[in-house]
Amino acid sequence: MRKRIVIDIVLLIGAFIAPPWLVLTFALIGLLSFGNFYEIFAVGFIIDVLYGIKTPFLFIPLFYTAISGCLFIASVFLRKHLRFYL
């Protein structure tokens, strides 16, 4: 439980001071470490609000939130097919 709280705090602080690709990398580690890591949606939304693309990229206005959703769905399928994960 403490690890999850620490990763949440690191992601929240990282969303404000780190580049978005680095924060999403830490979020991916959280996805593979914990089941149902829903915090990735909040982090993606915060990144979109802070650093969002002014014009929709590929007609997706919330680009990082969409990436977070895709990573979450991919992690669900990966956890089902992998024998060992973090």
Which of 14-23, 25-34, 51-60, 72-81 shows the lowest mean pLDDT across its residues?
A: 51-60
Q: What is the pTM of this model?
A: 0.79
- Position 86 scores a pLDDT of 54
Tens of pLDDT, residues 7-22: 889 999 999 999 988 9
Exposed/middle/buried for 12, CB within 10 Å: 0-12, 13-18, 19+? Answer: middle
The share of the chain scoring above pLDDT 90, in percent, equals: 22
Distance CA 44, CA 66 (A): 8
Report residue 51 as tokens: 């650093």
